[in-house]
Amino acid sequence: MNNKSKFVIGDIQGCYKEFKNLLKLIDPNKENKFFCVGDLVNRGPESEKVVDYVLENKIKSVLGNHDLHLMAILAGVRKHNDKKDTMTKIISKNKSIEILDYFLNFPFAKVISNETKKTLVVHAGVLPTWSIEDVKAANEELTSSLKSNPEKFLDQMYGDRRKAISKSTNKKNRRRYLVNVFTRMRFITKENKLDLNTKIKKSPKQKYQPWFNYKHKTLKEIDSIVFGHWAALKGVTNNNKIKGVDLGCVWGGSLAAININDRSIITVDSQK
């Protein structure tokens, strides 16, 4: 493995042992750089250890839907769902402010450069009609709003807003739509309407296609897109420029990292 490679790690979701095993493979000498695709926490057994490691080692990530949910719980605008969530130990650590402050620095989208290649990292996806400037503008719109009033943003972000809306019409619904694009999207129509319910590989509604099946404007300006979120795909997109790295570790699959220079994938098996 070449020195000083850059990797993007898939959805960890509290799978701390697998995360540490993967780091031993991709960064044995602690000289490579890596970035996470979001959903650092929840559903897995050791979210609190993942968060501790992230804070102690200043790990960077884009925001995923589970990260936002943790932030909402820590901000006091949402309650921990003991039937679904596995973040009780994080809440009991009395580190709410420290964790929230650190996660507030995470973007919704990030362009990573390595040598001559540029890779866009997002948790769920981006709209096909967006240019890279549109992606950056949507990211800035959300992150500035989140940082300026975290409690308000986190309280209002929940909602199945599926249709695009202009900034001047309804800011709250527009933010919901953009959050859903970046952190929840799987299937869309050619008019950019989202199907937020279907989680399998194929939508029962023919007009909805995986977001990566469309021609993407961003790929005129960057080399590739890396995303997570969609474990059912097992990383398969049939598009060499759009790579999925959520291989369902928390569900018994594997935890993956992609080398953004040569697009090779390194995995470790789930210990579940």
Which of these ranges, 62-76, 115-129, 162-176, 186-200, has the smallest mean pLDDT? 162-176
Q: Rounded to 5 degrees, what angle do the CA atoms 108, 109, 111 make?
A: 155
40-61: pLDDT as tens digits? 999 999 999 999 999 999 999 9
Long-range pairs for 97-101: beta carbons < 8 A, 24 or more residues apart: 98/55, 99/51, 99/55, 99/70, 99/71, 99/74, 100/71, 100/74, 100/75, 100/150
Rounded Cα distance between 258 and 272, Å, is 22
pLDDT of residue 26: 93
pLDDT digits (tens, 9 = 90+) for 206-222: 899 999 999 999 999 99
What is the average per-residue pLDDT within 188-213?
91
Give the dihedral sign, CA 209/215/218/219: positive
> What's the pLDDT tens digit per position in 237-260?
999 999 999 999 999 999 999 999
Provide the pairing of β-strand 265-269 with 254-259: antiparallel
pLDDT at 1 over 80: no
> Regarding beta strands 6-9 and 33-36, do their DSSP bridges make them parallel or antiparallel, or are they unpaired?
parallel
- Does 2 have pLDDT greater than 60? no
Task: Tell me how far the alpha carbon of residue 158 is from its chain's centroid.
Answer: 16
Higher-confidence residue: 121 or 116?
Answer: 121
The burial of 59, by beta-carbon neighbours within 10 Å (0-12 exposed, 13-18 middle, 19 or more buried), is given as: buried
pLDDT at 159 over 70: yes
**What is the spatial order of strands in the sheet that 194-195 belongs to?**
194-195, 187-188, 209-210
Mean pLDDT, range 79-100, rounded to an integer: 93
Question: What does each C-alpha distance from 157 to 54, 142, 227 come to in angstroms?
Answer: 24, 10, 21
For the cut 90, the answer to whether the pLDDT of residue 114 exceeds it is no
pLDDT of 3 reads: 53
